[in-house]
Each structure stands twice: as structure tokens, then as C-alpha cells.
Structure 1
């Protein structure tokens, strides 16, 4: 397993470096492999395609902030987790700005939305005290994705701490999210 993660991280680093100067659509698997001195077989052993690699980068890096074990009823832990996730996105905003622009069926934006939706669904019961129906879940997922995307795409985007505070103010106003701060 350790060797597998080393290989995946090398491929991820290669893709990130290539995306600094090359549009994602123009990056080929061969370029990713060549940059980290691996064979194409190694790539395909771990990933189906470059979209899968891009999604793995997100899942392995930011998801660790959001999925770490916390007390589901401790609002302060949820706030801290949100703040850490915003800091990560902010520090890697150039990469995610490019990732969010990728179009198509396997786009990162679609993967990110699915991730957001899953997270909202799993947390809604603790903060809204009820399950969301499909319509509400879709609307909240779209709003959250749009909120984050607009923030990251703004060339003068606010700091992650300000983004956290403003998100919490909005949630508190609309959903009484903050109960003990």
C-alpha cells in the first residue's frame, strides 16, 4: 500500500506541475508519466484516466479535512474543519481554478459537486434536525458549489478565514447552523 501511494503521489505531482503551464485538455497520459519517469502501465494500474487522477488528488488531499473523525454534534469541530478546508482550497487556488474550468462528463466540477452533496446529506440531520428531500439536497449542493467556485475564481478572493466567517453567517441566518459560538 505504501508503494501504491508513493506512485499515486508522484503521478499527482506530475499532473499538478503540468497544469501550471498546460491546459488540462492538452495534457496526455504519456506526459504525466514521462515527467515522473514512470511507464504508462503504472498509470493505468492506479487510474482509469487523467480525470480519475485529478479526482484522486482532491479526494486524497482535501477530503482528509472534511472526513476526519469528529463528534457530529460538536459545532466547533465542524467549523474548524470548514476553516481548514477553505485554507487548503485557498492555498491551492491556482490548481483548483483550472480544475473547476474542466468541462465534460468526467469533469472535476461534477466530482466536487457529488462530494459536496454527499457531505451535506450526511451532516444535514445534525444541523437541520431532519433529512433533506432530493430537491433541497440538490439546491444546497448547487449553492455550496457555486459559493466555493465564485470565491476561488475571484482574482481578489477573500481570505479563507473571512470566507469561513461569511459562510457561517449565511448558514446561521438561513439554517440556525451555529448554536454554541
Structure 2
């Protein structure tokens, strides 16, 4: 089987899954339903995916991860948040349904890991500028700190039908990332 044909088959299975999840809860979707929708036989599914969760990983990779990777490889990190929110808002109802999936292989977990890996990749790409008193902060610690806020904010924006444009949301998060909580409030200096 050629790589193009493999990719096409995976895309057909992913499309079938996307159509099904828009009609019913994840738990009710069976592999047979996915293969029927893609017009392939059941063993074909297992040539490409171990389970339904792996289709979600494939969709995340194809629709978001690969695009973000290209930005990073081309030193276009300033567009990263806008692209992330654009991809998610383009298919908001689909991603909302994915966020409803619970468990260790949930989309919530996959998105958290993706954001963490992306931030860590960025932190490893450039030298850290940190004062001596902050030397105890590893790149992993910094990535986890920002991942918790960003991953939760992404989920909140999808689940609560935030109506701001991807540009407005990315500008707001860019501002938050570049400022501390104390920079955002009027407070007396001690």
C-alpha cells in the first residue's frame, strides 16, 4: 500500500469518525460504524489505528499539530496562538464534542500534552534569559506553568462558545503571557 493510499484511507476513517461524533456520543461510536461510514472493512481500521482514541490523535496531528510545527520550523512563533485558535474555531462543534470525552486518552489530555510539548520545544529552541534568582526554574517547569493556563483557556473558549475572533483571543493571551498578574492590576508598590 502506497503512502498516499494509506493517508487517504486514514483520512476517510477520520472523516467517518467526525461525522459520527457530530451525531452521537463518543462512547456509542463503534469501530464498525466508523468503517461502514468510510466504506472499508473492519480489518482496515486496525491496519491504521489501534482504537477510536488514536483517530482523535490523528485528527489533532493533521489539523493542528502539523500546521503549528511548520510555523515553529519557519520561526513564525508569533502566529502560533492565532493559528491554534483559528483551527479550533473553524470546527468548534467538533472540538466541543471531543472535549466531552473523559479518561486518560481524552482530547483534554491530548491537547494539554500537545501544548506542553510545543511550549517545551519553543523553550528549547531559544536560550533562556533569566536572572540568577530564577535559575531553579527548568524549561520543563516553565512549560508546565504556561501549559496549565493555556490548555484550560483553550478548553474554556471552546466549551463556553466564546465569540471573540481568533485574532482577539490570541492577542489577549499574548498579552497575558508577556505580563504578570501584577502588571494587569493597579496596586500600590511596597
- TM-score, normalization by structure 1: 0.86
Deviation at 1:128, TM superposition (A): 4.7
Equivalenced residue count is: 170
Gapped regions of structure 1 (runs ≥ 5): 72-76, 176-181
Higher mean C-alpha displacement, 134-143 vs 116-125: 134-143
Deviation at 1:147, TM superposition (A): 0.9
Q: Is the 8 A contact 1:55 1:111 kept in 2?
A: yes
Deviation at 1:14, TM superposition (A): 0.3
- What's the RMSD between the two structures over aligned residues? 1.9
Against the structure 1 CA distance between its residues 128 and 163, is the aligned structure 2 distance closer, same or farther, given a 3 Å change threshold? farther
After superposition, give the CA deviation of every residue in 1:86-111 in whole Å (9 maximum; x if it has no partner): 11111111111111121012111111
- TM-score, normalization by structure 2: 0.83
Runs of 4+ in 1 over 6 A off after TM superposition: none
Against the structure 1 CA distance between its residues 107 and 115, is the aligned structure 2 distance closer, same or farther, given a 3 Å change threshold? same
Deviation at 1:64, TM superposition (A): 1.9
Q: Is the 8 A contact 2:123 2:139 kept in 1?
A: no
Aligned to 2:74: 70
Deviation at 1:165, TM superposition (A): 0.8
Against the structure 1 CA distance between its residues 153 and 26, is the aligned structure 2 distance closer, same or farther, given a 3 Å change threshold? same
Aligned to 2:172: 166
Larger Rg: 2
Aligned to 1:11: 13
Aligned to 1:40: 42
Aligned to 1:104: 103
Gapped regions of structure 2 (runs ≥ 5): 131-136, 182-190
Deviation at 1:151, TM superposition (A): 1.0
Against the structure 1 CA distance between its residues 127 and 93, is the aligned structure 2 distance closer, same or farther, given a 3 Å change threshold? farther
